[in-house]
Amino acid sequence: MTYGTKLRLLWLANAITASYSLYVGEYLWVAVLFCFLFVVVGGYAGWHRYFTHRSYQTSKFISRKLLWWGALQSLGKPITVISLHRHHHAHSDTDTDVHSPTNLSWWQITLGYYKEPKVSRKYIKDLIKDKDIKFLQKYYFHIIVTFNLILLLIDPILPGLVLGISNMWAIFTSGFILNYLNHRHGKSNNNWLYALLTFGEGWHDNHHEDSKRYSNQIKWYQLDPTGWIIKYFLKRG
């Protein structure tokens, strides 16, 4: 079974558990909490701005938290996800961009139906030196599936509340909004609504202009809550 097939089967399972949790309708505040923790802190601030772009410095303790919280949004293996995003930035909105809306439809981009390029070693040389990242890369599906099964045994509503809804939100924001909507018409764009839904990630043209900034806020009204989280809670040195 290919990596892409495994990933989409995981997403399907998460969609089913998320639907069940929403149907039961209890303790949805738990889902909101984990969406914030896994997607915003672990995903946007962690996997994206810290591990992919190294836009700020932090402590070893915080970086390990960000690594694991980001993994639990269930978007894929760390080296694979990070290297593809680095490749995207190097070739943004060109024919060699891995998920350009000029070449692919919205559903192909959202669900990862694109041909993964042969990524240069320069995009992963720092990642393969990190033992925790290599461990997570090797055992990613084992870890996520085991965690889901443990939650299921505790209470059938928990897989959806803890992982399922977070994963659906991550796919919608990262896949559909950021990779598709924020790159329509052949160029990255800024959009206040996308930024609102993605805690500042939707100021996407600002990000592509300089991905080494930990904040996407350039003008006063371009509010970037993820940048504030980094500034006041995560950034060290």
Burial category of 207 from C-beta neighbours within 10 Å (exposed 0-12, middle 13-18, buried 19 and up): buried
Q: What are phi and psi of 86, to 5 degrees?
A: -65, -40
- Which pLDDT band, with edges at 50, 70 and 90, does 114 fall under? confident
DSSP assignments along 154-178, one per residue = H-TTHHIIIIIHHHHHHIIIIIIII
Backbone angles phi, psi at 203, to 5 degrees: -80, 65
* pLDDT for residue 119 is more than 80: no
Indicate whether 5 pLDDT > 80: yes
Domain range for 214 is: 3-234
Asked if residue 145 has pLDDT above 90, the reply is: yes
End-to-end CA, the chain? 44
Question: Which class for 20: exposed (0-12), middle (13-18), buried (19 or more C-beta within 10 A)?
Answer: middle
Judge whether 9 and 140 are in contact, CB under 8 Å. no
For the cut 90, the answer to whether the pLDDT of residue 121 exceeds it is no
Token pair 């700020």: residue: 56
Structure confidence at residue 118 as a pLDDT band (50, 70, 90) = confident
Q: What pTM value is reported for the model?
A: 0.96
Tens digits of per-residue pLDDT, 17-42? 999 999 999 999 999 999 999 999 99
Q: Residue 75's pLDDT band (boundaries 50, 70, 90)?
A: very high
Query: In this predicted model, what pLDDT tens digit does every residue of 174-213 receive, in sequence order?
Result: 999 999 999 998 899 999 999 999 999 999 999 999 999 9
Please give the Cα distance from 161 to 28 (Å, whole number).
7
Overall number of domains in the chain: 1
Does residue 117 register a pLDDT over 80? Answer: no
CA distance 200 to 182: 12
Q: Which residues on neighbouring strands pair with residue 190, listed in sequence order?
A: 203
The single residue listed with the structure tokens 């033992």 is 131
Q: Which residues pair with 203 in a beta bridge?
A: 190
pLDDT band at 227 (very low <50, low <70, confident <90, very high): very high
Q: Would you state the pLDDT for residue 223?
A: 98
The first and second tokens of residue 235, run together, are 């950034």
Residues 6+ apart with CB under 8 A from 51: 63, 66, 67, 70, 78, 82, 127, 133
115 against 160, higher pLDDT: 160
Q: Is the pLDDT of residue 87 over 90?
A: yes
Confidence of residue 234 (pLDDT cuts 50, 70, 90): very high
Is 61's pLDDT higher than 80?
yes
